[in-house]
Structure formats: structure tokens, C-alpha cells
Amino acid sequence: MLKTDLNSEPETEVDLTTELEKKQDLDSTPSNKVRPCDAEDIDLIRRAFWFGHRLHQGQKRRSGEPYIAHPIAVATLLRDLGADAETIAAGFLHDVIEDTDITAEMLSTEFGSEVSALVDGVTKLSKYNFSSKTAQQAENFRRMFLAMAKDIRVIVVKLADRLHNMRTLEFMPEDKQKQIAEETMQIFAPLANRLGIWHFKWELEDLSFKYLDRESYRYIQDLVQAKRTEREAEIAQSIDIL
């Protein structure tokens, strides 16, 4: 049972929501698509953060860092995509139904039916694990995901969740790394492609390849590094000539 006061707020501010208020700085974000936020949006995002912060208090990720670091990363990815306030709030809250005593009904009371439906949708998608190796079954699974998500923003939140999990996959056991990487390559990268979120697709594929074929990944990485070193040397030489 929850023993913390979910409606009280510590005195310290949150970097993410504070940054959202600074509209003049929004063009410095990776995508230049961040939506301007009015006071109501900022209030929703801030409340979602503190709500999730308290619910995940004491929980740790496999890396040892506080669990809230993951929802913050997911919400930041969504912000950089230009997501609306409800989607960013869902990013902060996407694991609370699965990992705490909070229900969709409780979320609806606190944040409204829209945010609650997004979080509930992500939770339902998270219950399915893909294990097939055939292309047709992978396509069927992707179609099922899209059909289950009545709101496409559910898929977007899930993609952001998967991307951050892939970025921190090194802390998982090796057998789980390969299983998750295979699922990411077969299901989530193609979904990102289908939705036109190209930089998600590319990074999901790169990270999956890293765990599915380590030797080839390192070989390509070494080639890229060698080329980079060669180019830097050529540039330095050109500067010296000038």
C-alpha cells in the first residue's frame, strides 16, 4: 500500500518541467519540434513527475540508479519529439500501473481519462513478448500492436520506453540482451519506421545489432573510428597549410 502523500511536492524543481517553461530555449532541443507549453500543460507535466517520483521511490534499475531516471528519460524523448503534455505526462507515468498499486481508475481521477488511457495502453502492450523468428509472424505481431493501441500515442510512448531500455541494455543478463534485441529489431524498429520516427528506428537498429552480432558491430565500429581519425588528421594538416 502507498504510504506517501502523493499530492505534496518537495521544494526542489524538476529540470525537465522547468526547461519546458523556458520557451525561448526550446529551439536548442534535438528536434526543434517541442510544443510551446502553457501553464496548464506545465502543471500537468509537473504533477505527473512528482506522482511517478513518489510511486517509484525506493525502486532501483539494474544499473543501480533510481528507477525514476527511466521515466524521466522516456518523457524527455517524448518532449524532444514534440509530443503534447498528455503524452509527456504518460511518459512519466508509463510504469506505475505495472509496478505499483495504482490503477487506471486512480490515474483517471488524478490526471484525466486521456493520460490514464495512454498509460493503460502502454501497460497492456508490455504484457506481450515476441519470440517468433519468421517475418510473417513478426508482421502479424506489429499489426496486433497497432490494432490494440486505440491511440497511436500509446505506440509512441512504448517506442520511447524501448529506446531508453535499449540504451541501458548492458545491465541485463546476456541471454535477455539477445532476446530483447531480437524483439526490438523485429518489432519496434519497424514500428518506428512505419510511424516515420526515423531517428528512433536508426538507433533501435544500431543498438539491436550491437547485441545480436557483437563481432561485426565492433568491426564496423573500429572502421568508423579509423576513418574519423584519418579525417581529423587530414583536417589538421589542411589547417596547418592554411
Active site residues: 98-99
Rounded Cα–Cα distance for residues 36 and 21 (Å): 8
Residue whose grid cell is 522516456: 74
3-state secondary structure 47-113: HHHHHHHHHCCCCECCCCCECCHHHHHHHHHHHHHCCCHHHHHHHHHCCHHHHCCCCHHHHHHHHCH
Rounded Cα–Cα distance for residues 240 and 4 (Å): 63
